[in-house]
Amino acid sequence: MRTQVAIIGAGPAGLLLGHILHRAGIGFEILEQRSSEHVLGRIRAGVLEQGSVDILRELGLDEDLDAHGLTHHGIYLQFEGERHHIDFPDLVDRTVTVYGQQALVRHLLRQHESLGSDIRFEAQDVTPHAIDTSSPYVTARYDGEEVRIDCDVVVGTDGYHGVCRPAIPGVRALERSYPYAWLGILADVTPSTDDLIYALHPDGFAMHSMRSLEVSRLYLQVDPDESIDDWSDARIWEALQTRLGTDGWTLHEGTITEKSITPMRSFVASTLQHGRLFLAGDAGHIVPPTGAKGLNSAIADVTLLGRGLAALYRGDESPLSDYSRAALARQWKVQQFSQWMTEMLHVHREVADEASRAFRYRSQVGQLQYTTGSRNAQAALAEQYAGLPF
């Protein structure tokens, strides 16, 4: 079999790249190791930057987004019992949209089905070959048979644990881990807030997000080695009430329908391309979710990569040869913002000495007081949270 672009991984990055290539009249095949049910079942990101929304609109993929997305005009930063609103339209004339990654993946898949796209789920042992030549190919076991797909380009949108990054000779992972994790829940209850609340509390970080006007999404900082079995629904709600509570405000509780613990880490690959192999999304970088940048970075990568591939087939190789440099330049700005938000809003229990830990906490309160008290600082946060240009 032959195609122009072989895409490995049918998460949001791979599925969106497929639509971008279709729009440019470029042939592609997507090979995904898991079932479509598994891919659709993942509950992950929840916020789209303005730029991500614009791309979906440009591609005509905004129908479900318009029906179910919630436009948000900012976020709240909460500390010392006070909640401060950061007004994005007033500061940077941009908004963000709450639209779950699950809903996006479902819509992208549905649109691929209507296009008759070639997506092979439950493909095993997917392996890129000859990436250093002008005739790369991918092998896999599909439907009980060995298949080979010859192509011009291979794109690894196969996530952090994928096979494509390791195929790049000498690739390095620049990384750091954080000494805490997020316990996330979905609850059948109307959100108790209009915009997202990010709260620093002596007991730990907490956040109130949402998926719709009927489903709330909330997070708690926990230690990285904690087990979800140690967190009853009652204990979760008690901690959320403590950490998010402010005078005159009520956090409404409801049935928890999903709960899980996600570790916090950052990593960036030393390059996102080698020969005819390109990486995009979590295959190339991971950020802590505090800045709502994981999914948006994947969208930014495939937008840039899609433009480079379209130029390649018009006979101009220069945008594609610059892809890794340009995508990594944007990603490092995203990394520093995510790191700043994460370190400002989490309690650093890893600091052993009580006096140093107290100093660290008061310093973070000082950061939050400066940020919420300075229009310039708020504009810098709003510009980055609502999204840097692609």
Active site residue 385: yes
Q: Is 297 in the site for ligand PHB (CB under 6 A)?
A: no
Q: How far is the CB of 315 from ligand FAS (least distance, A)?
A: 29
What angle separates helix 323-345 from helix 294-312, to the nearest 10 degrees?
170
Active site residue 370: no
Q: Is 3 in the site for ligand PHB (CB under 6 A)?
A: no
Binding-site size for ligand PHB (CB under 6 A) equals 9
Q: How far is the CB of 204 from ligand FAS (least distance, A)?
A: 17
Map residue 348 onto helix, strand or coil: coil
Catalytic residue among 198, 201, 219, 346: 198
Site of tokens 């896999």: 140
Closer to ligand PHB by Cβ: residue 6 or 48 = 48
Q: How far is the CB of 293 from ligand FAS (least distance, A)?
A: 6
Helices and strands (H, E) in the chain, number of each type: 12, 20
Stretch that binds ligand PHB, among 44-52, 81-89, 110-118, 355-363 (CB under 6 A): 44-52
Q: Is 292 in the site for ligand PHB (CB under 6 A)?
A: yes
3-state SS, one letter per residue, for 39-70: HHHCCCCCEECHHHHHHHHHCCCCHHHHHHCE
Q: Residue 62 in contact with residue 107, Cβ under 8 Å? A: no
Catalytic residue among 76, 99, 219, 385: 385
Each residue 147-186 as x (binds ligand FAS by CB under 6 A) or -, in order, gives: ----------xxx-xxx-----------------------
Catalytic residue among 12, 19, 72, 346: 72
Among 3, 50, 290, 331, binds ligand PHB (CB under 6 A): 290
- Beta-sheet pairing, 196-199 with 96-98: unpaired
Q: Is 62 in the site for ligand FAS (CB under 6 A)?
A: no
Say which DSSP state 122 is in: T
Q: What CA–CA distances, in Å, run from 282 to 113, 178, 184, 227, 271?
A: 24, 17, 20, 25, 13
Q: Is 52 in the site for ligand PHB (CB under 6 A)?
A: no
Among 29, 32, 49, 253, binds ligand FAS (CB under 6 A): 32
Centre a 10 Å sphere on the Cβ of residue 41 and count the other Cβ atoms it contains: 11
- Beta-sheet pairing, 82-87 with 206-210: unpaired
Q: Which residues are identified as catalytic?
A: 72, 198, 289, 293, 385
